């Protein structure tokens, strides 16, 4: 199948590579030419613009940083809307505000283009090995058409969550849980450190119990090693929690814990740690106490 793919950042590149491994022909575009060159070397074909990609492909995937980028790529000059045809499918795998997904979907509908929102969880490691968790909103018939041959070539699971925007609502819920989980882990390990109990042994002891989690397994060792090479950056989590807070305020959902962790992340950003992995929430506690976890 010939697919378009726009957005070749830390997640997009490995996702394209998995589509190529599955036998798809992939036409790509990104404003960073080095990103395009990286996947062209693996067998992808370069498009000259989002419009050009849409003109060549009847199914287009976008993986972009945030709501304004998706709006511009879909609806802006030389965008997907200028090259798309009636009956095309747009799969937006970016993590954006649910209400913006619905706005973009309404513009696509005017052109006869079917849009689904399909954000992912798992970060770069799972993008590389093709085991992302994919959360989907939109027309369920469109989801059924693309699930096996496209989505499950990039992910281990793809779950239909409801109408357009439901995928991003699910992703925001995921990001709230992940952020709070990382903050709780950092807080607990700092408690151990201040109490003169080895945080590494505490982590080992509790991993198999009720407190154990995928977040703990992935981020605990990073905190102990002070390894903040990003799998998912602080600044990206700030973006997601901004969308979560805005959405929560619009629908009337109370999110006091999310707001608290957002302030921690904003402190890290102000301290120049925005490009660190979000496990750098440990640095927030180290700054408060003058004590290192690892």
Hey, which residues are catalytic here? 171
Query: What are the E-state strand segments in the chain?
Result: 2-6, 25-29, 45-46, 59-62, 89-92, 114-117, 120-121, 132-137, 155-162
φ and ψ of 266, to 5 deg: -65, -35
How many C-beta neighbours within 10 Å does residue 109 have? 12
Burial (CB count <10 Å: 0-12, 13-18, 19+), residue 165: buried
Helices 166-194 and 281-289 pack at an angle, to 10 degrees, of 30
Nearest-angstrom CA–CA distance, 250 and 10: 31
């Amino acid at each position: 199948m010939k697919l378009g793919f726009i957005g070749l950042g830390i997640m997009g590149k490995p996702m394209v590579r998995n589509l190529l491994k599955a036998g798809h022909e992939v036409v790509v575009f990104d404003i960073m030419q080095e990103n395009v060159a990286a996947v062209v070397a693996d067998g992808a074909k370069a498009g000259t613009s989002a419009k050009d990609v849409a003109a060549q492909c009847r199914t287009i995937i976008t993986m972009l940083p945030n709501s304004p980028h998706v709006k511009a790529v879909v609806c802006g000059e030389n965008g997907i809307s200028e090259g798309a045809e009636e009956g095309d499918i747009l799969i937006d795998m970016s993590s954006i505000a649910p209400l913006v997904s619905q706005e973009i979907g309404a513009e696509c509908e005017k052109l006869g283009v079917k849009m689904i929102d399909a954000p992912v969880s798992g970060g770069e490691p799972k993008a590389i090995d093709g085991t992302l968790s994919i959360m989907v909103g939109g027309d369920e018939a469109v989801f059924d058409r693309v699930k096996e041959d496209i989505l499950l070539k990039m992910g281990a699971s793809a779950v239909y969550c409801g109408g357009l925007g439901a995928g991003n609502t699910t992703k925001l819920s995921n990001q709230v849980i992940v952020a709070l989980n990382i903050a709780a882990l950092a807080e607990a390990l700092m408690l151990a450190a201040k109490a003169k109990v080895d945080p590494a042994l505490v982590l080992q002891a509790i991993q198999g119990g009720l407190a154990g989690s995928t977040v703990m397994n992935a981020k605990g060792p990073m905190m102990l090693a002070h390894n903040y090479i990003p799998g998912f950056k602080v600044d990206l989590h700030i973006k997601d929690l901004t969308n979560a807070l805005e959405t929560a305020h619009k629908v009337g959902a109370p999110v006091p814990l999310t707001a608290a962790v957002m302030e921690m992340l904003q402190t890290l950003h102000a301290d120049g740690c925005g490009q660190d992995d979000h496990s750098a929430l440990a640095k927030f506690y180290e700054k408060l106490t003058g004590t290192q976890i690892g």
